[in-house]
Structure formats: C-alpha cells, structure tokens
Chains A and B, each alone.
Chain A
C-alpha cells in the first residue's frame, strides 16, 4: 500500500499542472489498491523511471497492458472449425531517454535489442502482484537497454548527416485520469456457434463458389495505460464481428472474391440472424454474379462511387494518408522502406473540392441511432482525443498526430491508435465524416455521370458500388496489387480492387463487369470530385495497420467508421487487372 501511494505522488509531482483534485486522487488510490495489474504497473514504472545506470536518465516512460479474452468460431458450408478461446495480456513498455528534442525513438534502431530477452511480452493471467511485477520488471529492463542502445546508434547515424529539417522527437501532453470498471458481458457461445454454422451453409446454394467461410469473433477486456506524466487509465476494450468471405473462378480461370463484415463495440448489440444472413447472401450473390460477368475493358472517364463505395474510398485513401509520420532515421545513405503519406507537406493546400470538409470525431458514439465504431476515450499515447476538422473548404487544415512532432502541427491530437515500429504509434482516423456543402440527389448525379461520359465520347459510364476494402484477398493478391500500382505510377500503395463495377448505359441499363482495377488511385484523384449525393452512408471497418486493412492481418485491430455521401469523379482510370490466369480445375467440384 505504501509503495502504491509513493508511486502516485511521484507521478503526480512530475505532472503539469501539479494539483491533483482530491476526488481524482482518491479514485486513483482506490484503483491501485483493488486492481493488481494497475498496481504492478505503477510500482514497476515507478522504479523504472529512475533508471540511469547506463548514464542516460528516463525522461518519459509508459506501459500499456491489454487484458483480453477472446472467443472465435469459424465454419465452412455448415461444418465447424474448432472454437478458439484465448486469454492474453500483451504488455507494451516504452522508455524514452535523451531529451524531448532528441531521443531514442523514430529510428530503425529504436526497437532493436541485442541482449538476451527474458520477458515474454505478456503478463501472467493470474492477479498476484509479485508475478505481475516480475514480468513488468523484465519488460522495462529490456525497454531501458533498448532505449539506451537506440539513442547511441541514432546519434551515430546522424553524426555525418545534415538533416534538412530538425524537429523534436517528443510532444508532452497533460495527464489524464480515466478509470472505467470494465465489465464482461456473457457471450452465448453455443448460440453463436449454431449461428455461424448456419450462416456458412448459405453458400451451399451457390455451386459456383469454390471456397467460402464465416467467422465470428468477440474480444473483451480492459486496456491499461500508465505514464510518467501522471496519466492513468483503465478503459473498456471490446469488439465483436462476423465476417463472411467467398471465392470463385470464372470460366476463363480468373479468381474472384468478395467479403463483408459487421462489427460492434458492444457484443450484445450485434445484428440479428436475419440481417447477418442477408450480408452473407449478398457476398454469395456478388461472387456468383462476378463469376458469370463479362470482362471489363480499359476505361478513362467519369466514375460514380455509390452506396458505401465512396465511404470505402475515403477510408482507404484518407484513413491512411491523414496520419503523417516521419521517416525513421536509418543507416546513412540507406532509406528505410517505409511508405510516406501522400499528404505530407500539404497542410494549407487544397486536397478536396472547396465545397467539401472532413471532420474526425472520436467522441461521437452513434449517428442516427446507429453506433459508430471509432469511438474511444484515450489513445495509445495516453492522450485524450478531440474532434478535429481535418479539411475545411477543401483545404487540409490538420493531420492526425501522435506524440511524434510533425511539421505544421503543434501537439498530439490523440490519434495514436495502432502500435507501430520505431518506438512509435500509428495514427489513424476514428469516426470520419465527409461533409459536402453542395449536394445533389442520386438521380441527378447519375444523370450528370451519363452526360459527362457522353461528352467524353464514351458509350457508357462506370458506377462502382463496392470496393475490396478492407481487403478479403490473400497476401499474394495484395503483393500483386502493390506491384501493379508501382508499375502504373500509383506509388507502391496498392489501390483497393473495385468489386462491384457496372457499365451504366444511356438507356438506363446496367451491366456488371469483372476484372478491372483502379489505376493510380490516391488523394490527387479526390480533387476532381465534381458532385456529392444528398444521402450519407456509414461504413464501419476494423483497421490493423496492414495495407488495405487486409482482413485477418495483424494482431491488433481498431474500429473506424466513415460516413460519406456518394461522390462523382470527373475522371478515373480503370484497366484490366492483367495477370496470367490459372486454368480451371480438370475435376469438377464435388456435388
């Protein structure tokens, strides 16, 4: 008890401003005394922050622990894979040595530890303080040695280099105290098992689908965060989702796939079975229709993104690019292979039409009665996020920031949402609202689309109703997309494949085509949006830091929502996703 109080006082003394509200202090005190995880974190961070044995003092330290319990179940054509149940407490320590102006983070050496690693990266599952402290002691010991080694290597790498622009390495923030009492809801595993089995059997009625599957996963628990500024947090951390995917081969061998998912931050508010069956059915229909659809041809002209497709496009292109991170310091003359944001250096410049705004609001829990997936109280840097106007009248006003200073911004805005490399976090959007000051009805947009196509001399226009984002392709599909993007001048960021692409003819007829991809699709194309619809669509997804938020990749996911109207691009380029096509199997599928 004494130790805990000591830590609390020490942390508070370091905090700015240093006057703890007695009610808050009492709350912290109570939490430290009743929660062994929090207490062990406080005691060990309290010891580690005084580390200076190697000659460098710790000027900032933090520890995060996720206490997660998950259950997942998958099925194929009515047959179950075994359920997976896991309990895990991953721990992420970070100690900063040096000065805020120049520290151990932001270099390729930042995570490199050459000694023997004794910590397992996770805490014990039992709640005994001594064993928890033992694990944290080893984790923080490695963090300190890693930080010390990285600082030296980073300074050495920069010794012979003149940096074009010197920015500090750390933005401080104000202490925050958030103590939630996480409650786990009871998951009816048997009911979900039965539901997933049933949902997966939907695909049985589609013989042309070669492979398919349905997954359900729920993860719930608490996220802990503690830093030497005095921030102390224990917040709910829950997410549940159902995901369906299917693939087929067209008669010419082309592989086609689609997928969809439904997520919720509250496992008890997942949609009912009928709605889920509808989602699975839609995936099945899409894949079956694609397998029978004609091949698309190269096209340059107006493109209308309808339904959720526009929100998906904003999620992919702006979701990743709005977070600007600095290139890590590396070996002189050797650049680390890190994609930089297309929006780097574009603050104050126009990135969208002057009648469009982008607002990111993590504080909003729902929209028109529907929950938003990007709600959160505190980011991974222990910073409380606020509502941000990112683009105003088409001009980029702000970017998403972490504790890493970036040019043009003056502090962290609480968008550290994913753990990243180089001692840093990855900034991501939360609930992104795409707002149009000028809108049109969808019928008017369609009319305009056809007019633009006629003016460009096209016999038809293109309407896209769904993109493969988050991608349901394989890692190999993604690699090919990135290579194609590189060849056609789109940088190395793969553009999402359009799944539902229609030729819209002047007589009102529409025809689904397959096998097209967007050629160079990035922020630049968004400047030639010429119209937006008067209805908005909400698209929820889980980001994991992988390109195209590849479904199933990564071990850490974060919920995001994008709310956007349909948009009409004056000109986009589509071309056949040229690749050698595998021949269809010699043996017909089993009945």
Chain B
C-alpha cells in the first residue's frame, strides 16, 4: 500500500451536476447486460447470479514545461469496460477470499468513445463471456479447495456479497473548455524561473487536467453515471548533492475547476520556494537516526494517518486470513487518543480552502457514497466497507473502489482527522520544546513536507509503516533557529504510534494524492491538523552515490 502525491487520475466537478434520463451508453449496456445475464442463467453451469458493467471514461491531457520550453503536450480520450461476473450464490461465490489470493476476473477492454450500439454491444458480449469463464473456473477450484480447509470461525458464516438496493442516478459534469495554449504560455513563464537556480539538475512544471465519467450497471437494476473534473498543477525539481545524494522537491495544487487553480503570483512564489528550499537542502546536514518528540505538519500528519490508520480500517482486510487484523475485535474500543475522531467522507468536496481528491457520488460497486464515522472520541465505530461483509457489518457503506482493470475492494476516500485538543501553532511549538527538555533530547523534529509513504498490513512480516519526508527541520529547545536536515524517513509500527500523539494544531491542512493498493490506484485526500507526537523514529533514507553530471550545465540564456 503506497501513497504518493504525484501521478494523475480523476477529478472533481466544478459546478452542479445534473441528473437526467439514462444516457445512450447506459441503454446500450443495459440491453446487453440483461441479454447475457438471462441466457447465461438459462444455459451456463455454474450460473452467474450477478453481473456488472463498469465503464470509465477519461478525457484529458498533460502539459509540461522545463526551463521555459514545453516538453510535453498530450491529449487523450478513452473508455474502458470492466465486466464482473459472480457465479455461485451470494453466500459463496467466485470472489471468496482464500489464502490471500486476490481474485480478478475483469480485463479492461477499450470501448469506442462514440455510443455506437453494434460495437459496444459486441465488446460487452465478448468480455462477459471471458469473465464468466474465469468466474466459473475459480468457483470450481474454490469448491474443491474449501473441502480441504477449515474456515476461521468469525468469517465462516459470512456471505461473500452483501444485499444492496438498486440505485439509479445520472450526474454528469458539464463540459468545460480548457484553453491549453494559454496554459502553455504560463507554464513556459513559470518554468523559466528555475533558470535562476543553477544548482538544480532538472525542473519541471506540469498541468494535468481531466474529465472522468464512471458508468455502472448491474443485474440488480443499478444504473449510475457520475463524474468530475480534475486539475493538478505540479512543480518539481531535482538536484544532486556533492556526496551523490539525490534530492527532490515538489509542490502541487489541485482543483475541480481551472478557475480555482492558483494565480500567477502564488505559483511564482511556489516555484521560487521549491528552487530555494532545494538549494538549501543541498547544503543541509544529513539526518541521523533519531527517536524523540516531533511535530508533523498537517499534510505530513495526513500521510501518517493514511498509512498507520487508514489502511487498517479497510474492511476487506478482516476477511483475509493473511492480513494482520489490527482492529478485528476493536469495534467499540479505544484505538486512538480520546481527543481524536476520524471520519471517512467521500461526499465532502472541499475542506480548508482546497478541493478534495477523494470524493465521488457512487462507489465502483454502484453504492452511493456515505459519510462514515470511523472513530469517535478515540473509539472505533466502523470500518470502510465494500459489498464484502465483515464480522459485525453486513452492508456496504459506499467504499468499494478500484481503478479500471481491477476488482473493487474497500478503500479510503477523504479521511478527516478531527481533534478536541487543538492548540495554536506557536503553542504547539512551545509544547514541543518543553517535551524536548522533558525527555532531555538535544533537539526535536519538525516535518514540514512529505511526499508519501507505504505500509505493510499482512502477517508474516513486520506490521510497519514508512513516511517519506522531503523537508525536515531540527527544532532546538534553547531558542537556536531551526536547522534544515535531509535524508530522513519516518518509520514505526502503527499501534505503538497512536498512543504517542499528545496534541494537535488548530488548522486543518489537505494532502491530496493517490493511494495504491490491491485494487489499484484511487484518488484520496487526507484532512488533518498538525500533530505533536512524543516519540517518532527516523532512519536514513536509502542513498544513491553516483556522481553529479560531469560537464557544467549549458548556459541558460540564449546567445545571440
């Protein structure tokens, strides 16, 4: 499981979405779904009891520039169809989790972008046949495998698929015009600022935009279509230290509407900050392994929560016997400090002045998105659930998600960390300094910026996590100025980390990113305040030692 702040996917809506009559695509697919379902129910063995069609349509592009020149100008528009077939019965079907296998039956077939009935119906027919064959094969293998195994008592009687009501709704984002050439001129101008920072090896400014529409139909009668726009402006640069170490830094801005992307001045400032901070990092002292008190900025805290907590409340992990089941028997029990609450809210589109990356109207199983209170005053109340029932929870709460080509599993959306013990920024810093003195440490740490992280949740390995910071400062208790350091990774084990949270800041920050796990990359966001932790562990990052470019960088100005 990996969280990264880079890459592209999905977007959010600008204005209002509209619901209306079923779009042509839905009608074409519905007829073919019903026809295949009916004939397979009559003639196939084993029979399918559920078929779903999921179409993901993405229109968008990327513009990128470096040192004043456009380097990339791509536009694309594609549609893919994912067909899921469930054979057997909801009680035991071909998706049954066994021995950590991740059953997958879909294969993502490209569809024409025009609603031509003949072509789309034929591709859907072919894919349904393929998915049914794969489903039938696994169900039969499963039946014999199950006879030789004993199921864990707590999951033995759970069905493989929950009952949900059929849903209908069509909410398409209205089309926005994207003036690519105007943006290209801006990217040229902004990227040329990096010419002023001669120590950088590469630098890049890119703008990705897309309109994504997801269409979902199933044999229970669900028919949904929804989507959003998404814009992401990324600023990044790399450099190589005298000792061979690679350094990189980035800044990004996300919005559902191009109008909400930052203004010129803000971007220029961000470019200069990346340039200056990276130049400073080149001269910064390498981190040393350390355990002690620290402050995580809101975005750093977001990644920290996503990794140590978010992945462990994904419901499907409770059905997988190879998973660690960190919170399997914790519902109703205290799992976090009492002053913390956690909500997963895919219906929330904006927080702390930023458009959130993890919102949607329906999940990838056609279930309406729901706000879920996961932790209330430290007590675990719920899990993130797809249509896979887990002990104590028999229904989906709209968190079944997948990237095209993968089968949906319970995943995070917008994770919101709320605190009842909020203190202003300056106070949080004072608390850190007194904690440094109390523990008699030479310094504490302040994690300003992180790029992502990863965690392991399975058994047979260490239940550990890593968060990868980009900008870290040593904070001294004696009033010396903060000192930038480089090359530190935050590491730890999750349960041990929760208890060490002492207080939080009073301003929420947003980390928008992409979470990669068993069902692929899905857009997510974390909204969290800064955290003061009594103890955090850092280790040195893996380092490269190859030499910097041999020849000096070519002159930046055009020679006339």
Chain A residues close to B by CB (< 8 Å)? 1-3, 43-44, 47-48, 51, 53-54, 75-82, 84-87, 114-116, 118, 120, 122-126, 128-135, 137-138, 141, 144-145, 204, 210-211, 582, 585-590
Contact = CB atoms under 8 A, between A and B. Distances in A.
Interface string B518-560: 0000000000000000000000000010110111011111110
Contact of A145 (B76, B133, B546): B546
Contact of A125 (B43, B44, B71, B549): B71
B70 A587 contact: no
B78 A590 contact: no
B114 to A, nearest CB: 4
Given A82-B113, A116-B246, A118-B238, A590 B550 contact: no
Interface residues of B, number: 61
B36 A131 contact: no
Interface string B41-55: 001100000000000
Given A124-B66, A211-B126, A586-B44, A115 B546 contact: yes
Contacts of B43: 586-587
Best-buried of B71, B195, B554 by chain A (most CB within 10 Å): B554
A44 B551 CA distance: 10
Contacts of A589: 122, 125
A79 B119 contact: yes
B122 A590 contact: yes
A49 B147 CA distance: 70
B75 interface: yes
28 contacts: A44-B554, A54-B550, A76-B112, A79-B112, A79-B114, A81-B110, A82-B59, A87-B73, A114-B546, A115-B547, A116-B544, A124-B65, A124-B67, A124-B70, A125-B70, A128-B558, A129-B558, A130-B67, A130-B554, A130-B558, A132-B69, A134-B66, A137-B554, A138-B549, A210-B122, A586-B44, A587-B36, A590-B35
A590 B32 contact: yes
B39 A141 contact: no
A77 B113 CA distance: 13
Contacts of B195: 130
A81 B557 CA distance: 43
Given A53-B550, A585-B129, A586-B129, A131 B35 contact: no
Interface in B89-146: 110, 112-116, 118-126, 128-129, 132-133
Contacts of A590: 32, 35, 118, 121-122, 124-125
Contacts of B547: 115, 145
Given A78-B119, A130-B554, A586-B132, 18 more contacts: A76-B112, A124-B71, A125-B71, A126-B70, A128-B67, A128-B68, A128-B558, A130-B555, A133-B554, A134-B66, A137-B553, A137-B554, A138-B201, A145-B546, A145-B547, A585-B125, A586-B40, A587-B35
Interface string B192-235: 00010000011000000000000000000000000000000000
Contacts of B66: 124, 131, 134-135
Contact of B116 (A54, A77, A86, A141): A77
B32 to A, nearest CB: 6
Closest 10 CB pairs of A and B: A79-B116, A115-B546, A82-B77, A131-B69, A79-B112, A124-B69, A126-B69, A79-B119, A133-B554, A590-B121
A80 B119 CA distance: 9
B551 A51 contact: yes
A82 B78 contact: yes
Contacts of B74: 86
Given A81-B112, A130-B557, A116 B546 contact: yes
Interface string B409-441: 000000000000000000000000000000000
